[in-house]
Amino acid sequence: MTITTTRFAPSPTGSLHVGNIRTALHNWLLAKKHGGRFLLRIDDTDAERSREEYVESIRADLAWLGIEPDGEERQSQRLALYEAVFSALQAAGRVYPCYETAQELDLKRKIQLGRGLPPIYDRAALALSAEERAEKEAQGIAPHWRFKLDHAEPIQWEDGVRGTQKFDPAQLSDPVIRRADGSWLYMLPSVIDDLDMGITDVLRGEDHVSNTAVQIQMFTAAIAAQYSAARTIPNFAHEALLVGSEGKLSKRLGSLGCDAFRERGIEPQALLALLARLGTSQPVEPIAERSELIETFDLSSFGRAPAKFDDADLDRLNAGIVHALDYETISTRLPDGMDEAGWLAIRPNLVRVGEAADWWKLVTGPIETPEFADEDRVFLVEAAKLMSWKEDPWHALADTLKQETGRKGKALFLPLRQALTGMDHGPDMAHLLPLIGEERARARLERAGKAG
């Protein structure tokens, strides 16, 4: 029985951004939906740009999100494997050396575009004789290496999001797989790793569709040259890319990472709830339970239209998540002195947990007492005299004042709220007043009655 195995393969050249996070999440959800494995592969073959602090940052961000890998691999520790497969492909005639400079290749592309032709590599290096190649290398020109595409048949696969995909390999450039200094580009090592790690499903952005066409031939060639026929090409799915709320690709999305979300007070559950269903036909809801996101994950619900990332949606989801957090879960993040009753009273007014401290000041004080009209000051002095501390002091006070003064509605409740909290809106006073306490509440009413 084949175990569904997915992977997330970031390069440690920077921190994760929201697009990376979405890719990681969807691969994790896909694996868990089928009881499979989710692997983290650190693509650190670019020694100059890779940094160990980014590796640690990637691990920490995934941990904060609750996306737990079932295993981890480092490409920098797999170089011998790449060398072995490369040698096998070389022997099979599927890779070849090229000697053009970057400037020469750029000129070729410009000429082709000027003639209305697709800017693909012309395979000039294949026409070089052994003597010509030796002459170039004697001149100190080290070759870069390309994978030779088979032009005989179209490349085709059934994409998990986009449906049937078909490419003419003759319309694609033979991809460069190895630089002149011997270092690897992304394409071939990724194929080798997917085969070696038993990856069954590759879910990534639609910007990789043409890469997939090329890599499918690499899979076939690598299996024939180095692996047994038991190895199979993974299933592929390419999801629409994220765009900003304005409907355009946004550089800002490339800089939005976990640090930015944490600084904004975004709960990881809210970010997961948004990204899990963004770009699908399923409703985006404040779902805190990862098990529900796993159960409802469905590639068939993914659309082809760009997925719009909107901060307003994230704030809405965050508020929904916060409103469902119980006191035990959140207690260590609350201001000193706030007990469960305080949390339950203030929670409905929060978008972020960090706002609890500001609302708690309504209880602990000091508050800024607003100025009142003369008739309201008289009313508040009366309220201080008539207040009696019962099981439900707020409604008891309101009922007594209604009978004694004839006030009702806004004229009754608004001056009381303003005098007791310094605000004209906020938590339910029936829950808040017992937290303020009788002595403090009476003092605030008396002070408000004297203010003028």
- What is the DSSP secondary-structure string of 142-184? PPEEEE----SS-EEEEETTTEEEEE-GGGSPPPEEE-TTS-B
Residue 158 burial (10 A CB sphere; 0-12, 13-18, 19+): exposed
Question: Distances in Å between the alpha carbon of 83 and those of 142, 188, 216, 221?
Answer: 17, 11, 20, 15
243-323 CATH, one of 3.90.25.10, 1.10.3860.10, 3.30.750.24, 1.10.1160.10: 1.10.1160.10
DSSP bridge pairs for 254: none
Question: Distances in Å between the alpha carbon of 395 and those of 150, 342, 377, 398?
Answer: 81, 18, 20, 5
Give the SS3 label for residue 435.
helix
pLDDT at position 427 is 95
As given in the structure block, the two tokens for residue 155 are 């490349």
Where, residue-wise, is CATH 1.10.10.350 in the chain? 374-450
Write out the H or E segment, with its range, that includes residue 195.
Answer: helix 187-196
pLDDT at position 368 is 93
Where, residue-wise, is CATH 1.10.1160.10 in the chain? 243-323
Nearest to 190 by CA among 68, 325, 43: 43
pLDDT at position 251 is 64
Give the SS3 label for residue 138.
helix
| Interatomic CA distance for residues 293 and 235, integer angstroms | 22
pLDDT (tens digit, 0 to 9) for every residue of the chain, 452 residues total? 789 999 999 999 999 999 999 999 999 999 999 999 999 999 999 888 899 999 999 999 999 999 999 999 999 999 999 999 999 999 999 999 999 999 999 999 999 999 998 899 999 999 999 999 999 999 999 999 999 999 999 999 999 999 999 999 999 999 999 999 999 999 999 999 999 999 999 999 999 999 999 999 999 999 999 887 778 999 999 999 999 877 665 667 777 899 999 999 999 999 999 999 999 999 999 999 999 999 999 999 999 999 999 999 999 999 999 999 999 999 999 999 999 999 999 999 999 999 999 999 999 999 999 999 999 999 999 999 999 888 899 999 999 999 999 999 999 999 999 999 999 999 999 999 999 999 999 999 999 998 65
| Interatomic CA distance for residues 264 and 199, integer angstroms | 36
Let me know if domain 374-450 sits in CATH 1.10.10.350: yes
Q: Where are the beta strands (DSSP E) in 182-248?
A: 201-205, 235-239, 242-244
Using N-to-C axis directions, what is the helix angle for 393-405 and 410-421, rounded to 10°?
130
Binding residues are: 251
Contact yes or no for 8/40 (Cβ under 8 A): yes
Binding residues for ATP are: 251
Nearest to 417 by CA among 437, 398, 439: 398
As given in the structure block, the two tokens for residue 109 are 């592309």
| Interatomic CA distance for residues 191 and 86, integer angstroms | 11
Contact yes or no for 420/443 (Cβ under 8 A): no
Query: Half-sphere exposure of 367 toward its Cβ, with a 13 Å CA cutoff?
Result: 26
pLDDT at position 452 is 58
Contact yes or no for 184/140 (Cβ under 8 A): no
pLDDT at position 245 is 75
